Structure formats: structure tokens, C-alpha cells
Chain A
Amino acid sequence: MARQPLLIGCGAGFSGDRIDAADPVVTTLAENGGPACLMLETLAERTLALAQLRRREDPEAGYEPMLDALVAPILAECLGSGIRIVSNFGAANPEAAAWRIDEIAHLQGFPNPRIAVVTGDDLSGPEHHELLARYLHTSRVPVSANAYLGAEAIAEAWDAGAEVIVTGRVADPSLAVGPAMAHFGWDAGDWDRLGRATMAGHLLECGAQVTGGYFADPGFNDVPDLANVGFPIAKISEDGSCVIGKAKHTGGCVTLATVKEQLLYEVHDPAAYLTPDVTADITHAHVTQVGPDHVALSDVRGHERPATLKVTAFYEGGWLAEGGISYAGPGAEARARLAAEILVKRLPELALRIDLIGVVSVLADDHGRLISKAPIGDARDVRLRVAARHHDREAAERLAQEVTALYTCGPAGGGGVRTAIRQRLSTASCFVPREAVQARFDWVQ
């Protein structure tokens, strides 16, 4: 018997996403009835390294800092309506996150929630240093190292009846592939179905980026009620193809244009989108508007998954110093340029990046190639921003001191100095044999 379609809603697309976004998604899933899950993607590369640093200081910390705010408003409705939650909000400490969710569930009157924890991604411990040294070609000890796990342990937890599945690092689309795999009973070698579900997960994983968020460009791409942009819901069919819609009574839009933009987001070769689960291929894909705010994705293919898993390691990377000062009115650009020259002269030990915000900044480059060619103009509202890195904190702090000193020692009319200094993390990635990583799930209780 063909299984009913699976609805997967996305309630968060990164750590820092709107915490009120999931509620309309859950309401829509509950009203619809039928098999459903809520996916919360909150773990960018750097987010995990910062979480590892927090866990070092406090063994109970290291999971998504907004966990309570994300989960508390929707947990009771999810548990009560059979909407399962799948999320990488476990970050560097999935078990502690699961304990916290267990506590919240108890407080909300659910004494026995079935919470599963997926582990095996964390390769930060000393027992893994030899493996990392071999594949990263360095003996430096990392702050953190995590493998990108795939969908299988999530699928096993789903099969076992988990109502909440907490993970650390997994490939983002696998948060959707795992539930679909288990719900439909797909084999781990069913490449076409896994490829299709992977691209459904890919469309969901950045939340509003497929529903009109990150798309609006007034006069060119107009989006209704963007302030209340609705988050996406994918209806996955037994063959893995999907229709993307969004939460009811929300703003935003789902059109061919919004779906195409997100389909290609962070894709390199469209014939080989690599995840731990499959090599997805969108070269033959079609998108079709099947109703208002509903777009179907079809004809995605899949090929055999890579033989290795990606591992990203973070290392202490010295210090980043930044400073800014504003100039306005007649001659503002000339005064900002003079201030930049002064900083370059006084900080010979630092390789400064110079931005003239209002003239040329984010589209330029760290080496100053574009700014050196930019014609000297007469911009009247310019913020000079400088940045530099150094392995030594004191050397980096000199930048902040010199920008501050422009108040009295620099060109006329400079105001609004802000400076910041923060620890940098540098990264290195490698690919390790699958056998080196043991993914599994365990129950919290």
C-alpha cells in the first residue's frame, strides 16, 4: 500500500532565525493532519565551533542557546498532534539539549516524550587526533572537529518511534531525508529517491529563503507582507518528489523564481550535489507552479553517495580587530581617505583592510585592489571601516586604539568611533573514510 505523503515544515533556517516562525508552520501541519515533522536547522559551520567553546567552559552548555525560545512555544502542540521534531540544535552537546527538551516536556504535561539523540559526529576528543592528523596533514590540536553525518541514524530513530530527534552536525538536507527514508521505507541505496528528498531538504533548510525571504528587490522582485514571511512546508511523495508550500496566514510567496534561487543556493556542479546520503543531480529538474504559493520540483535524479564523509575542524586563529569612524558633509570622502592613510602609516605591523562605506566596501577585496582603482569622488556621508588580524592580542588591540585616537589627532569632523576585538577561528576540511565515523542514536531515558 502506498504510504501517505509526508509533510515536512521548516521552523528555523539558521541559529538566529525568527523564533516566532515555527508556530504558524506547526499550526498548518496540525490542521492538515497526517504524517508530519518539523525541521529546525540551526547549525552553521562556525556556530558549532562557538558551541564547542561554550561547552569547554560549561559541560552542561554547548547546544543551541535559543533552544528554550524555539522549542517551548511549539513542543506541546507537536507532541499532542504527532508532529515529530528533527533538529541539529544539539550542536556541540546533543545530549544536554535532549535533557533540556525532556524538562520542558515535563513542565508542559508530557511525562514520557520519546527523545532520541544522534551522536558520532564529534571528533574533537583526543582519541580522534590521530585520524585528523592523518587526513588534515597537521598535528595542531583543533578547538573542534565534526563529521557531517547523513540521514541513516535519524531514520533509525524515526523508525523506533522517536518524537523528537536531536542531532549535532549532520548534513542539513539529511534532516529531511531521514524522516522521508523511514516514513516511506526507502533503502539506503535508492539513489533517485534519496536525491529527490535531498533537494526537498535543500529547499527547506534555509527557512524563508524559499518563500520570498532573501528575494525581495523593490521594483524588481516584489514580495507581499515580507515582515510576516511564512516558512516553508514540503509535501514529499513516495517517489521523493515534492511540492513546496508555506505556512497558512503568513506573508511571502512561493513562485518559480523563489524556488529556483534556493535550488541553486550553495550548489556547485548541478549534476553532483554531494551529501553523505547521495550525489543529487538537478540537471534535468523541472519546477512547476501547481497552485498559489505551491511549486512542484520534479525530475531530480540521484547517483551513488560519496565513499567518504566531510570533516570540518576549527583551530584557534588569533584575533580580529575592527574599527569605524564616520565623516559627513562637504569633503567627507577626502577626510575619510586621509584618516585611512594615517592608520596605514601608524600600524605598519598590521595588514589593514580599508572600507569606505558609502563609496566602496563589501564588493571590494581584502588586498585593496578595487579601492585603489576607485575614482576619488565627493561622497558626503562616509564611514571608514578598518579591519586586521594578528596572532597576538596586543598587536590587534593597537588597531582599536589608533582608530579611537582619530577623535582628536585625525582629520576634522570624525565621529561615532566603534571598535571591536574578537577571537578568530580558522578552519580546515578533509574527507575521511565512512568507517572512521560511528553514527548512532540513543534514547534519553
Chain B
Amino acid sequence: MMGSRTVPLRTLAHGRAGDKGNRSNVSVIARRPEYWDLLVAQVTEAAVAAVFAHREPSRVARYVLPNLHAMNFVLDDALDGGVNDSLNLDSHGKSLAFLVLDLAVEVPEDFKQTTGGDP
């Protein structure tokens, strides 16, 4: 029996947050194609909604782009009104990609991880 352990999503994926109005989008892109299935299984709408619970988004949608080994999360009403209304120092929500990249992902005990983008 093989055990498992968790690693931060950041070791398996990179991503970027963008904003339009009160809507944020965060991409999650596999660093290697072999990580893709694991990300699709674990980095779900529910998992991302949970890390944004305090922002109370009205909707969290995941779009999957298998050709690019990328997912796009769209969070409605997650920016306290958006860049002109929010009192946040980061009113664009640019830092939010790293909230998602801190998710714990379960990997097999003998999983070998690499950093850097696609080779």
C-alpha cells in the first residue's frame, strides 16, 4: 500500500488573477502535463469556493482547457465591489492567485515534483 502526502498547489501549478468590475478570475495552469489529471480531480469549484468563503462570492465557476492544461476560475462578486469601490489595499485582487496556489493537494508518497514551467 502506497501512502500519500500533501503539497501546496504552487508546486504543481502556476496562475494569475485578473479583475473586471466585481468579478475575479484566477487561472491554474499545470506545470507539467502529468499533473493535469490530479489537478482536475482536486482543484474543484468547491475547493476554490472554500478558500474564498470570507469573500462570499455569489458564484464560483470552473472552466477547463485540456489543450492548455489550464483551468480558469471565475468568482462573481468576490472583490468587495471591485477596483473603484473596495477598501482593500489591493482593490484589483491581484494577490488572490496566491490564495488559490496555497491549496493543499494530495499526491502519492513517491511523487516527484519539479518546479518551473513546461519544459
Contact = CB atoms under 8 A, between A and B. Distances in A.
Interface of A: 45-46, 214-215, 217, 219-222, 255-258, 260-271, 282-287, 289, 299, 314, 317, 320, 353, 355, 361-367, 369-370, 373, 385, 387-389, 424-427, 429
Interface string B56-95: 1000000101011010101000001111111111100001
Contacts of A256: 117-118
Contacts of A286: 67-68
Contact of B88 (A271, A299, A362): A362
A257 B74 CA distance: 20
Given A220-B116, A222-B116, A264-B72, 10 more contacts: A46-B84, A215-B14, A220-B10, A261-B15, A261-B16, A265-B16, A267-B72, A268-B20, A362-B95, A363-B96
Interface residues on B, range: 35 or more
Contact of B89 (A255, A268, A287, A361): A361
Contact of A320 (B11, B29, B74, B87): B87
B67 A261 contact: no
Interface in B27-73: 27, 29, 31, 54-56, 63, 65, 67-68, 70, 72
A94 B28 CA distance: 39
B54 A283 contact: no
A265 B27 contact: yes
A220 B115 contact: yes
Contacts of B98: 363
Contact of A264 (B27, B31, B84, B86): B27
Interface in B3-35: 10-11, 14-16, 18-21, 23, 25, 27, 29, 31
Given A219-B115, A255-B118, A362-B89, A369 B83 contact: no
15 contacts: A215-B14, A217-B14, A221-B117, A255-B118, A257-B29, A257-B31, A260-B29, A261-B15, A262-B16, A267-B18, A268-B25, A270-B72, A363-B98, A366-B88, A388-B87
B45 to A, nearest CB: 14
Nearest to A321: B87
Interface of B: 10-11, 14-16, 18-21, 23, 25, 27, 29, 31, 54-56, 63, 65, 67-68, 70, 72, 74, 80-90, 95-96, 98-99, 115-118
Contacts of B89: 355, 361-362, 385, 387
A395 B53 CA distance: 32
B68 A221 contact: no
A299 to B, nearest CB: 8
Contacts of B21: 427, 429
B95 A363 contact: yes
A225 B5 CA distance: 35
A287 B29 contact: no
Contacts of A317: 84-85
Contact of A268 (B67, B74, B86): B74
Given A270-B72, A286-B67, A46 B16 contact: no
Nearest to A214: B16
A397 to B, nearest CB: 16
B8 to A, nearest CB: 10
Contact of A267 (B25, B55, B85): B25
Contacts of A255: 117-118
B61 to A, nearest CB: 8
Contact of A263 (B15, B31, B68): B68
B84 A426 contact: yes
